[in-house]
Structure 1
Amino acid sequence: MLDRVQEARRQIEICNACRYCEGYCAVFPAITRDRAFAGGDITQLANLCHNCRGCYYACQYTEPHEFALNLPGALAEVRADSWERLVWPSGFARVFQRYGGAMVAVFLLATFFVVTWFRLDVETFYDLIPHEVLVAIFLPAFVAPLALIALALWRYWREVGGTRITWAQLRAALRDAARLKNLDGGQGQGCNFEREERYTKGRRAMHQAVLYGFLMCFASTCAGTVLHYAGWPAPYAIWSLPKLLGVPGGVLLTLGAVGLAVLKPKGDRKLGAPGVWGGEMGFVLLLGFTGASGLALYAARGTEALGYMMALHLGSVLTLFLLMPYSKMVHGFFRLAALVRDAQGKGL
């Protein structure tokens, strides 16, 4: 941890002296507001970085220059380390970041077999698992990871010196997060994520598809819960609110995850954190599988495959929930906190 922070500090101080990339993203204006950088400042800058990589290709001090700057890579290492340190238990997070693909497969198999203890010759959702059992399994599996993430965010906020949050600061952060502003490269040309000097907006579009697809799927689940307790249990027709939200949300989530999975191997690994590449790819594939299994579940209505599709989808959702604090899902929470802290630094 200490070596990573020291290396990131060295590079940030050079960037602060140069300031050629000041307009690229939120990181560089934040750098110019300070002259000295404590450990918490480095953690904040690392989580503010969206890894668009434009600064690397614009920099005159990358290798073979003796300064050997690689700011996206240095910040990516600190960022991954902050997730591992601040989320409890840190040991589990560290294992997932390195062996995420294998862990996703193990969790999927385990949760699938748990679900398939119930009978699979079903016609409705609750024929597979009674509603009371479903709540007993999924409510703790959702609330407990959120509690761990809340604890991690509290520790992060203390480390970066955050103060009382105002509505103006939260609104500014949410606006930037909703637009994924910092994935436009600062100049509106998009990310430099792919190798060499090729700017595209593909990565931003895929992130937006995943973000809004996930939010729509979550809203669909909430709508279904409200309808159930209001006396209208599942299954729901295509014109119902759960389906109007869930089907397009599942399509967006699946397409966005597939797009990110295709794009990720094109990126230069040295400009990220190579040690967590497997965990990041495992998380992207899990997101895509969750969206695709939800769509397959809807398509399987009235067929003998319905029970198996239910088991696959519930297993993927349960896996996503349980791994949420340790997978790259947590980066969204940390990044929003970093945007709020940045708004405080701007004096909002």
Structure 2
Amino acid sequence: MQSLENLTREASALALNEVPITFAKPMSAAEGEVSRIMQICNACRYCEGFCAVFPAMTRRLEFGRADVHFLSNLCHNCGACLHACQYAPPHEFGVNVPKAMAEVRLQTYVDYAWPAGFGALYKRNGLTLALALAGGLALFLIMTMALKGTLVLPPLAGNFYAVFPHNTLALLFGMVFVFAMIALGVGVRRFWRNEDPGAMSAQAIGEATHDVLSLRYLGGGHGEGCNNADDAFSLARRRFHHLTFYGFMLCFASTCVATLYHYFLKLEAPYALTSVPVVLGSLGGIGLLAGPAGLLWLNLKRHPQHGDAAQKPMDRGFIALLLLTSASGLALLLLRDTSAMALLLAVHLGIVMALFLTLPYGKFAHGIYRSAALLKWAVEKRQPSKLLVED
């Protein structure tokens, strides 16, 4: 694996020399379908007040690849427009906005991915790749401990660093984290540069931040929620997303506080069950268990016309890694004073590394691109309409 210095140097070169992805090639079938549907919706405008997609749509007369990519990532797949549409299947127009845009979103994860081959691989084999990577990394760590004689140890009172030295863990996860951030940064940069909406303002950034953190558009067209299995509205999808997102952020905050303790306050692990890092990690783990479990349940029972069946392995691969991360982390916390701690630690670390290595190519990238699309929309809506300028 490359060192942190090499990864950082490569990221700088990409930032300085990268050119936008060209859209000279013809549209794919999925992109053409979104363009066709948007022209029908632009003439109808019955769903104009639903989500950000439709007011953004009205600022355009034609829908090129950059427009299609922007609008598809702006879509939250709540399903409200499908159930309200008079031209939805079985009508001959066959207007299905959620399904068409879900297919394009999957394509954008591959088009903007860095390195490109990783995106295509995860697209085809998301669940298998996620589980195989987690299992392989966990097995590697277990074999390393077995060779060092640290696999079977007496109870260590939660002292993880007696199994893996702190500096080793910091270097290992630092490299994985930097790689994930570089890959995500390059992808978002490519996405942004293909249709620059104009100069940002504090108001636009504030609005986009509010919409992201509140998951505003998972409230459906009228704030009543998403359509999951039928016409009935439900806020379950929004709530499970909130549990997942804030659970992840609490776990990340726990790691940051523990780093602060170690390097600045000179307080070394293990920490008491009532300490800030442990409390934050415990609450985050519970959120990461309940949220992804709910999302998996909704994914299994979602109406088939609400999305793209080809995305299910990718969706479920990410959900599986989140569930395994939280379950193994909570098990490690509960059994940290037993002889099983070393084995559980290796399993947990392998799963976490697999999660971060796949972040730029799956559902997490989807959240990043959607956030970038919301920021684009917040910026664009404050600019003069291109249609008025051209007139």
TM category, shorter: over 0.9
Amino acid at match of 1:58: A
- Between the aligned partners of 2:323 and 2:135, the Cα distance in structure 1 is 16
- The alignment partner of 1:232 has SS state of coil
> Is the Cα contact below 8 Å between 2:82 and 2:96 reproduced in 1?
yes
Which digits, 9 at most, give the CA deviation of each residue in 1:178-208, with x for residues without a partner?
A: 000000002111001x222121110100000
> Is the Cα contact below 8 Å between 2:197 and 2:380 reproduced in 1?
no
Residue aligning to 1:62: 88
2:234 to 179, 195, 200: 200
> Is the Cα contact below 8 Å between 2:204 and 2:379 reproduced in 1?
yes
* Deviating more after overlay: 23-32 vs 67-76: 23-32
Residue aligning to 1:271: 306
Structure 2 unaligned segments of length 5 or more: list them.
Answer: 1-26, 384-391
| TM-score normalized by the length of structure 2 | 0.86
Matches within 5 A, 1:1-348: 2-116=28-142, 117-118=144-145, 119-120=150-151, 121=153, 123=156, 124-192=159-227, 194-229=228-263, 230-347=265-382
| TM-score normalized by the length of structure 1 | 0.97
- The alignment partner of 1:325 has SS state of helix
> Is the Cα contact below 8 Å between 2:253 and 2:280 reproduced in 1?
yes
Structure 1 unaligned segments of length 5 or more: list them.
Answer: none
> Is the Cα contact below 8 Å between 1:84 and 1:90 reproduced in 2?
yes
Amino acid at match of 1:296: A
Amino acid at match of 1:73: K
- Between the aligned partners of 2:113 and 2:201, the Cα distance in structure 1 is 25
The alpha-carbon deviation at position 40 of structure 1 amounts to: 0.8
> Is the Cα contact below 8 Å between 1:40 and 1:161 reproduced in 2?
no
Mark the structure with the bigger radius of gyration.
2
- The alignment partner of 1:51 has SS state of coil
Runs of 4+ in 1 over 6 A off after TM superposition: none
- Between the aligned partners of 2:198 and 2:28, the Cα distance in structure 1 is 25
* Identity rate, percent: 40
Which digits, 9 at most, give the CA deviation of each residue in 1:60-111, with x for residues without a partner?
A: 1012211011111111111111111001122321221221111111111111
- Between the aligned partners of 1:138 and 1:342, the Cα distance in structure 2 is 34
The alpha-carbon deviation at position 293 of structure 1 amounts to: 1.1
